[in-house]
Chains A and B, each alone.
Chain A
Amino acid sequence: MHRRSLLAVGAAAALSLAASTGARAQAPIDIQFWHAMTGPLGQIVGQAAEAFNQAQNRYRVVATFKGGYVDTMTQAIAAFRAGQAPHIVQMFEVGTATMMAAGRAIKPVHELFAEAGIPLNTEQYLAGVRGYYSSSDGKLISMPFNSSTAVLWYNKDVFRAAGLDPEKPPATWPEVFAAARQIRERNAAPCGFTVGWPTWTQFEQFSALHNIPFSTRANGFDGLDTELRINAAPFVRHLNNLVEASRNGSFKWGGRDNAAEPLYISGECAMIQTSSAFRARVQREAKFQWGATMLPFYPDVIAEPINSVIGGASLWVMTSPNRRAEEYRGVVEFFNFLSRPDRDAWWHQQTGYVPITRGGYEQSQRDGFYQREPGTDMPIHQLTRGTMTENSRGFRLGRFVEIRNIIQEEMEKALQGQQSAQAALDAAVQRGNRVLRDFERASR
C-alpha cells in the first residue's frame, strides 16, 4: 500500500516534469517592451504588440507603459544597473547620443540583425528617419518607431477675420510676422502666433531647413568634441525678431515643451509651430476651421529650404546578463514585423506619426489615405524635400535634454528683456558647451 502510493507519486512527478518541459518547448519567449506612449497612443502600441503575438507563437511581446519619455529613460537606466533591463525600450530622439555612448548596455540594431543572421534592409526606411538613428557611416543603431516633424498650424477663421487669405498660409518668416501683425492690428485674435517645443522648432528645425550647422562636427555625428553654433547670425536675427514680435503681441511665448498648444486650441493664438502629431488633438478639440502648412524660412538665408528633421522616439535594444540569442532573435522578428508595409501603414494612419518605411508610405497612398485625410502627407514631403546634408540629418549631442532646456531658459531671458538676443545665445552656447564637455569627459 505504502509502496504503491510512493510509486504513484513518483509517476505523477515524472509526468508533471515531462509536461512542464513539453510546455517549455511551446511556451512563447517573453520580450519585454517598455514604452512611453500615453492615452490612445499607448493603446495603439499595445495593439501593435498584440498583432505580433497573434501572428506567430514563438515569442510574446509584453508592452508596458513606463511613464513619459524622461521617466522611461530613467527607469530603463536603473533597470540596467540592476541587471534587469528590458529587451526593448522606447527612447526619445534627444536621448540618442546618451544611449549611443552607453557602450555594452545597448545592442546596435545592425549588430543585432548580423548576430541573428538576418539581413537588414536599411534602405526601406525613409532617409530622414533613418539618418537620425544611424552612425555617421550609415549603420542603423536604433529602430525607428514614432516619428513626426514640426509644421505650422493656422486658424482659418482668424485669417478670414483679419483679411488674410485662409487658403494661402504664410510660407516665409517675413510673411509669418506680417500676418501676425495684421491679425493683431485688426484684433482678429489676442495673439498672432506661438511656438511649441521652442528649441526643437525654432533652433533644431530652423538650422536643418536653412542648412546651417547647429553644432560643429556635423551636429555631433562625427565626434563628442562638438561645439554649439547657435549664436551665429541667422539664429540671433531670428530670436531678435521673436523678441520684437512679442513686444507688440503678435508673438506670445507659450511656455516650454508643448505647453503652448492650448493657446492654439483655445483660439487665442492664430498660428502655432509644433509637431505634426498635434493633428489628432486639433481634429478632436479645435472649434474652428484649421489648416497646416510647412515651416516658414528666411528667403535671404536659403531660397529653397531643404528637409526638416524628425522628432519622436526610436526603439533601443538593451543588454542584460544571461540574455539568450533566442531572445534577441525575437526582437529582430518584432522589428521586422513593425517594418512590414501593411503594419507600418496601419501605425501611420492610426497614430498620425509619419511612416517609417517607404513601403508604409506607398501602402497608405494605395489605401487612399491621403485623399481621405488631405494634408497628412505634407509632413512627409517636408521631411524628404531637397538633398539631406550633415546639417539636416539630425543631432548627436550628449545630454541634449539639458541643452534643450538651457536654450529654452536663455530664450525666456531674452523675451523677458533681461538680455539681448546675442547675449542670450552666447550664454546658451557657453552653458551648452560646458554640458557637452562634461559628457565628453564622462563618456571617454
Chain B
Amino acid sequence: MSRRAFSALVLLVCGLLAGCGSQHPKLKSNATGTPATDAQVLTLARVLESDFEHGGARFTANLQVNGQPAQATGRVDFRSGRGTALVSPTDPGLGPPRRFYWTRSTVLAQAAPGSRQYQRQVPDEQGNPVHGMIGFINLLSAETIDNTANIAAAAPRLIGHTTISGAPVDEFRYGLSGDTTLWILTGSELLRQVYTTRVTGGLTIDLLTHEPVKIDLPPAAHA
C-alpha cells in the first residue's frame, strides 16, 4: 500500500522535511555497530505497529524553528491521527509558547499566544518546521507491520544498548546514509526515541508513554 511505515520514514524524511544533510554534533555519521539480525529486523518491522496498537503517546520533541532551538510537549492519538503540542523556544526571551492541534489533513495553529482562536493551515512539511515535526510524528505508527525487505535494504545496524531515563533501550541506526537513529525499549518492540539528522539542526522525538490518548480539537475547529 501507499505507506511503508519505517521504510517510508527513513527513505522519505528527506523529502518530507527541509534541510537534508545537517549533522547532529553528538552523533557520528559513519556506520557503527553490527548489522541487524533477521530477528532484529523483524523487531524494527513491528515497532510502528506496536505503537499503533497501544493507541497513542505523550511526547517531547526538540527541533529548530527559524534557526533557534525549540521544544515541544504534546500528545498524539495514533489511531485517529490527531495530536496537540505546545511549542516553545528554548530561549524564553525569543517568544511565548504557541499551541498547535492537528488532524490527518489539517494543522490548527493558535492565532496568538494565549488566544482561544486557531487558524487552519494547510500542512507544509517542507517549509514549516512545526509541520515537519507533525508529519514525522504521524509516521511513528502504522496499522500493519512494516516491510522487512525494505528495512533490510536500508542496512539497519544495532549500535548498542543504553538507557533513556532509566529505561533500557536498544539503539539502531539505518537509512541510506545511516542518518536516522531509533531507540527501542528492550524487549517491548516499542519506540522510545527517534532522531534524524536529515532535518536542519536535527529532530528528536521522545515517546514518554504508550497509552490511549483522546484529542479534543478546539471548538469550531473540527476537521
Is B truly associated with A?
no
**Residues of B near any A CB (own CB < 8 A):** none
